[in-house]
Amino acid sequence: MKKENKKEKMREIRDEILSLKNSPLYKYRLENKYHPVIGQGSHDADILFIGEAPGENEAKTGIPFCGASGKFLDELLLHIGLPREEVYIANILKDRPPQNRDPHPAEIEIYAPFLLRQIEIIKPKVIATLGRFAMEYIMNKFGLTESITKITDMHGKVYEAKGPGGTVKIVALFHPAVAIYNAGNKTELKKDFEVLKSLI
Ligand code: URA
């Protein structure tokens, strides 16, 4: 797909989300003057990171992972020498759930098709999920339901599936928000980023 076409398709996604009145989170977005968080980065990225949902900082700015977890994500990218502009960062939900509560299944149903369209556009070689929600959604979607176990057993392993651009490698990672406060997870996450680096 040409660069311009990719841009246009991403714009369509943004416009549809901006007027997503059937979402239970739409009213909450307007009431708080929040922005939807569509995603950020290269439309030709080899690695697509998928988080859960925007937090408050993200909803205020429209930028994914720009708060405390984002800072740590930046540190991890720096650790493997990968500029943030070269990857793509998105979430399953594009609007912030109140008090950062877990996404409801009905919300995932509304927002996930946008993420799938982003995957179709970017055709990443590697999908790196951040946290349990993204991991479960992606593993199920890519026919890997039977490989789902505890994140403590799965993290850093490479799963292969059929993606829109051929084989896609899926790597489940701890969510940086959890790892910030857990030294063990932090070390593991750093090692798992080295795995990511080895895949591109
Ligand atoms: N946590 C997420 O899952 N996504 C963000 O964009 C920020 C924090």
What pLDDT shows up at residue 130?
97
5 Cα: distance to centroid of ligand 1 (angstroms)? 27
CATH for 192:
3.40.470.10
Q: Let me know: does 177 contact 68? Beta carbons within 8 Å.
A: yes
**Region of 49 on the Ramachandran plot (φ > 0 left; ψ -120 to 50 alpha; else beta):** beta
Mean pLDDT for each 10-residue chunk of the chain (200 residues)? 94 98 97 98 98 98 97 96 98 96 96 98 98 97 97 96 94 94 91 97
189 Cα: distance to centroid of ligand 1 (angstroms)? 16
Query: Which three-class secondary structure state does DSSP give residue 141?
Result: helix
Q: How far is CA 179 from CA 23, 84, 130, 169, 186, in A?
A: 30, 19, 11, 23, 5
Residues 85-98: tens digit of each pLDDT? 999 999 999 999 99
54 Cα: distance to centroid of ligand 1 (angstroms)? 5
What pLDDT shows up at residue 165?
87
Q: How many domains is the chain built from?
A: 1
17 Cα: distance to centroid of ligand 1 (angstroms)? 17
Handedness of CA 77, 198, 177, 122 (dihedral sign): positive
Q: What is the number of the ligand 1 atom nearest to the C-alpha of 91?
A: 4
168 Cα: distance to centroid of ligand 1 (angstroms)? 23
Residues 147-172: tens digit of each pLDDT? 999 999 999 999 999 999 899 999 99
Phi, psi (rounded to 5 degrees) for 21:
-65, -20
Q: Let me know: does 67 contact 58? Beta carbons within 8 Å.
A: yes
**CB-defined site of ligand 1, < 6 Å:** 37, 51-55, 58, 64-65, 69, 91, 177
Query: Would you state the structure tokens that stand for residue 94, as one six-digit string?
Result: 């594009």
What pLDDT shows up at residue 183?
86
**Where are any strands of DSSP class E within the chain?**
40-41, 47-51, 88-91, 126-130, 158-163, 166-173
Name every residue whose Cβ is closer than 8 Å to that of residue 94 and which is 6 or more positions away in sequence.
17, 20, 36, 37, 38, 54, 111, 114
- Which range marks the domain in which residue 181 is found? 3-198
Q: What is the number of the ligand 1 atom nearest to the C-alpha of 52?
A: 3
For ligand 1, atom 7, the nearest C-alpha belongs to 65
Q: How far is CA 41 from CA 10, 44, 85, 128, in A?
A: 11, 9, 5, 14
**81, exposed or middle or buried, with CB in 10 Å at 0-12, 13-18, 19+?**
exposed
Q: What is the number of the ligand 1 atom nearest to the C-alpha of 89?
A: 6
What pLDDT shows up at residue 63?
98
Name the residue of 35, 69, 138, 175 whose CB sits within 8 Å of the most ligand 1 atoms, as the mutation to test its pocket. 69
Name every residue whose Cβ is closer than 8 Å to that of residue 22 and which is 6 or more positions away in sequence.
110
pTM to 2 decimals?
A: 0.97
What pLDDT shows up at residue 49?
98
Query: Would you state the structure tokens that stand for residue 151, as one six-digit string?
Result: 């994140």
Q: Let me know: does 52 contact 94? Beta carbons within 8 Å.
A: no
90 Cα: distance to centroid of ligand 1 (angstroms)? 8
